Amino acid sequence: MSLPPEKASELKQLIHQQLSKMDVHGRIREILAETIREELAPDQQQLSTEDLIKALRRRGIVDDVMKELNFVPDNVDQELPSSPKQPVCFTDRQSTLLKKTNIDPTRRYLYLQVLGGKAFLEHLQEPEPLPGQPCSTFTLCLHFRNQRFRSKPVPCACEPDFHDGFLLEVHRENLGDGTRMADSTTMLSISDPVHMVLIKTDIFAETTLVASYFLEWRSVLGSENGVTNLTVELMGVGTESKVSVGILNIKLEMYPPLNQTLSQEVVNTQLALERQKTAEKERLFLVYAKQWWREYLQIRPSHNSRLVKIFAQDENGINRPVCSYVKPLRAGRLLDTPRQAARFVNVLGYERAPVIGGGGKQEQWCTLLAFLCRNKGDCEDHANLLCSLLLGYGLEAFVCVGTKAKGVPHAWVMTCGTDGTITFWESLTGHRYIHKPTNPDEPPAAEQPKPLYPYKTVGCVFNHQMFLGNCQPSDSVESCVFDLNDESKWKPMSEEAIKSVCAGATTSLPPFPLCASTIDASVTSNEIEMQLRLLVSEHRKDLGLTTVWEDQLSYLLSPALAAYEFERTTSISAGNEEFQDAIRRAVPDGHTFKGFPIHFVYRNARRAFATCLRSPFCEEIICCRGDQVRLAVRVRVFTYPESACAVWIMFACKYRSVL
C-alpha cells in the first residue's frame, strides 16, 4: 500500500507524538545503559543493533509500542474516509468504542472530558444507592455547532461521578474549507460555545432541568500544549438562576495537538472584542425596540394592553429577543411531513415553568436543547419548536402570541399559504384550524363563520426574520385580517435590526440535529401491557373478582390503536371497517363487547392505570361483572425523535348479557 506524501508525513507525525507520549526514547536509553552494564564484555567496544533490539524485545518495549499504535493491517485505505465523519460520542452503550474510535486525521477535534462534579449541595444528604435499587440520576447533554452528545447517567450525589469524554469536531462551515484542518487562527474565529444542559431524572422517569451553561472553549487555544483544565460553576434555572447548583471539573484538549498555540493575550483580546461587539448590537436593538414601541403606542393608546412580546427570558433569566428562539430546523429523515412534525411536538410533554409560592405564571422560554433534553416545556417552547420545523419544510410560519378563553396568555403557530389561506396549528394538541375572518361591517343578520379554534386575541406574530405588532382596531382573532404586508394592520420591525441580534437569521451552519429515538417500540409496548395486566388483576382481586384474559381479543385491538395514531398524524381516518368486522366475529351472539381507548405521552404504567380508573367508562370495563367475562388490553407505543412517544392503550371486555 502506498500513501501520498502528505499522508505519510502526517502518519509519521502521529507515530512520533505517540512515541513521545509513551516516553519510548527515555525507556530505550535506560535499557541501553542497563545492557551495557550487564552484557558488554570488557573486550567488546560496542553493541550491535541486533543486540539492542533483542534487549528491547526481551523487556516488552516493542510489544508495548505496537499495541499503543494499534495498526490495522490490509485495510488502512478504507479507514481514511473521503467524506467528513460523524462526530463520536462516548455514551454508556458505546463505551467499548473508547479505545477503537476511528478519528479522521485530516480534521481537528476538541476533546472535552468531564472529570467529576462537586458541591451539588442539594444532594448532600442523599444516601448511597444500593445495588439494583432505582435512584435519581444526572445526565449531561452537550450541543456544539451541528453535533450533540449525551453522558452516561450517574447517581445524584453531592459529588456526582461524571467521567465522560466527548470528541467535538471543529471545522469551518464555508464551502471549500470543509476538508482543511482548522488552525489556531481559524478556530479563534469560531465563536460558537459548547452548550451544556444538566438534567435530573427521578425514579419515576420524570425529568427536571437543573442547569444550562454556555462554555467558552477557546481558552484552550492559548494554553500550553493545547490542554487546559476548567472549573465550571453551574447556576440554577428560572427563579434560581442566581443560585449555584454545583461545580464541574472539565478538561479541554485539542487533537491533533496544535503546532502553534496563540498567546493568551491574543485569545483574551478576541473574546473581549466579541463581547463588546455583541453588547453594542444588543444595546442598539434595545434602543430601536423602545422607539418602535413608542410609535406603536401612538397609533392607539389601547395597544398598551395587547400582548406584544418583544423580549422573553430564557432558562438562565436572560432577556432575549423572541425572534432568536426560532430558526429553520430540518428533521433529516426522522420526520417526513409537516403534520408528522406537529404530532412530534404535540407528544412532547406540557409543563408550565415551576413557581415558588403564588403570584401567577412564571415566564421561562427554554432554549431548544434544554426543551428537547427535558422532553417537556410550556406552550411557548412547543410553538417555537413547531414554527422552526415548519420553516424547515419551506412553509411561511409564524409564532402567534395572544390569549385563549378567560384571557389566559397563549402561543400557537400560524402558516400563510400562497393562496392567502391562514392555518392555525395548536402545538399542544396537533390540531389544525383554517382561519376565516368575520366581517364587522356586515349587518347583524348576515351569517358569519363560526370559529372552531380556542384563540381569543392576538397581539403579535414573529419568526426568525420578522416581528409584527397587531395594530388593527380590534385584536380579536375572529375579526383579524392576517395580511402581514399591510402596514396599516400589522406594524413591522426592521428586518435588519432583527438580523443583527438573531444568529439564526444569518448563520450558514447545518441545522440543529434532532436525535433518533432510543426506545424499542415493541419491547416497551409489551412491558407496559404486562404491567397493566398485573395491575388490573390485582385491582379485580381486591374487589373479589377473578380475571380471565383473552389473548386473541387483545390482538384484535391493535388495528384500532394504529388507526387512532394515523388519524392524529394525518387527520385521515382509515381501517375502522376491518376492525369492527373482526370484533363482530370475535364476540358470540348474546355477548356484549365494550372497549375504551386512551392516549398518553409517558410510559409509566401505574400512573396511566390510575388515570384510566378516573374515567367511569374505563372503570366499568376493568371492574366488569357478569357471566363468562373475558378481559383484553392492548398497548401500542409509537416512537418519535428525541425519545418522545405516543402511548395508546385500549381496555376491552366481552361478557354474556344476562337480563
In angstroms, what CA-CA distances link 476 with 36, 425, 461, 617?
A: 96, 17, 14, 38
pLDDT number for residue 9: 65
Which of 351-360, 370-379, 581-590 is least confident?
351-360
Q: Give the mean model confidence (pLDDT) for residues 199-216.
A: 92
pLDDT number for residue 85: 41
Residues 6+ apart with CB under 8 A from 596: 612, 615, 617, 618, 621, 650, 651, 652
* Residue 389 to residue 640: CA distance in whole angstroms: 14
**Do the beta carbons of residue 238 and residue 353 sit within 8 Å?**
yes
If you search the block for the grid coordinates 406540557, which residue do you land on?
Answer: 350
Reference 502, options 491, 514, 510, 494; nearest CA is 494
Mean pLDDT in the chain?
84
DSSP SS3 for 274: helix
Using 50, 70 and 90 to split pLDDT, how confident is the model at 411? very high
Is beta strand 349-350 parallel, antiparallel or unpaired with respect to 376-377? parallel
521-531 pLDDT per residue, tens: 999 999 999 99
* Residue 516 to residue 641: CA distance in whole angstroms: 5
pLDDT number for residue 301: 87
Q: Is the pLDDT of residue 91 over 50?
A: no
Which of 44-48, 117-121, 538-542, 545-549 is least confident?
44-48
What sign results for the dihedral spanned by CA atoms 462, 405, 372, 370? Answer: positive
Q: How many residues does the chain have?
A: 659
Reference 623, options 492, 514, 509, 535; nearest CA is 535
C-alpha cell at 509: 451552519
* Burial zone of 457 (CB within 10 Å; 0-12 exposed, 13-18 middle, 19+ buried): buried
Query: Given its phi and psi angles, is residue 116 left (phi above 0), alpha (psi -120 to 50 degrees) or beta?
Result: left
pLDDT number for residue 172: 59
Reference 354, options 364, 346, 367; nearest CA is 364
Question: In this structure, which long-range contacts are made by residues 271-277, counting pairs with CB atoms below 8 Å and at least 24 apart in sequence?
Answer: 271/216, 271/218, 274/191
Instruction: Find the farthest-apart pair of alpha carbons in the chain and give their distance in angstroms, rounded.
Output: 125
If you search the block for the grid coordinates 465523519, which residue do you land on?
Answer: 85
312-321 pLDDT per residue, tens: 999 999 999 9
Better-scored residue on pLDDT, 88 or 8? 8
Q: Give the mean model confidence (pLDDT) for residues 273-287.
A: 94
**Do the beta carbons of residue 463 and residue 485 sit within 8 Å?**
no
Amino acid identity for residue 533 in this structure: R
Amino acid identity for residue 125 in this structure: Q
pLDDT number for residue 257: 84
264-277 pLDDT per residue, tens: 899 999 999 999 99
DSSP SS3 for 501: helix
If you search the block for the grid coordinates 396549528, which residue do you land on?
Answer: 425
User: What SS3 string covers 351-389?
Assistant: CCCCCCCCCCCCCCCCCHHHHHHHCEECHHHHHHHHHHH
In angstroms, what CA-CA distances link 167 with 86, 103, 219, 245, 255?
A: 10, 9, 17, 26, 9
* DSSP single-letter state for residue 110: E
Neighbours of 588 (CB within 10 A): 9
**Do the beta carbons of residue 174 and residue 126 sit within 8 Å?**
no
CA angle 364, 368, 370 (to 5 degrees): 65
Using 50, 70 and 90 to split pLDDT, how confident is the model at 47? low
Q: What are the beta bridge partners of residue 169?
A: 109
Q: Is the pLDDT of residue 616 over 80?
A: yes
* DSSP single-letter state for residue 545: -
Amino acid identity for residue 64 in this structure: D
What sign results for the dihedral spanned by CA atoms 219, 225, 226, 232? Answer: negative
User: What SS3 string covers 53-89?
Assistant: HHHHHHCCHHHHHHHHHCCCCCCHHHHCCCCCCCCCE
C-alpha cell at 370: 434544554
* Residue 216 to residue 218: CA distance in whole angstroms: 6
* Residue 9 to residue 29: CA distance in whole angstroms: 26
C-alpha cell at 241: 438562576
Reference 347, options 568, 624, 657, 605; nearest CA is 568
Using 50, 70 and 90 to split pLDDT, how confident is the model at 43? low
* Residue 112 to residue 212: CA distance in whole angstroms: 17
Radius of gyration from C-alpha coordinates of the chain = 31
pLDDT number for residue 122: 87
C-alpha cell at 229: 483544565
Using 50, 70 and 90 to split pLDDT, how confident is the model at 68? low
470-522 pLDDT per residue, tens: 999 999 998 899 999 999 999 999 999 999 988 644 444 556 889 999 999 99
Reference 451, options 427, 466, 431; nearest CA is 431
DSSP SS3 for 571: coil
Q: Is the pLDDT of residue 14 over 90?
A: no
Question: C-alpha 50: how far from its chain's center?
Answer: 59
pLDDT number for residue 512: 80
Q: Is the pLDDT of residue 285 over 60?
A: yes
At 556, which helix (H) or strand (E)?
Answer: helix 551-556
* Residue 90 to residue 86: CA distance in whole angstroms: 13
* Residue 564 to residue 143: CA distance in whole angstroms: 35
* DSSP single-letter state for residue 476: B
Better-scored residue on pLDDT, 461 or 588? 461
* DSSP single-letter state for residue 600: E
Using 50, 70 and 90 to split pLDDT, how confident is the model at 7? low
Using 50, 70 and 90 to split pLDDT, how confident is the model at 241? confident
Q: Is the pLDDT of residue 622 over 70?
A: yes
Using 50, 70 and 90 to split pLDDT, how confident is the model at 176? very low
* Residue 569 to residue 335: CA distance in whole angstroms: 11
Better-scored residue on pLDDT, 450 or 262? 262
pLDDT number for residue 279: 93
Which of 103-112, 368-377, 424-433, 603-612 is least confident?
103-112
**Do the beta carbons of residue 493 and residue 322 sit within 8 Å?**
no
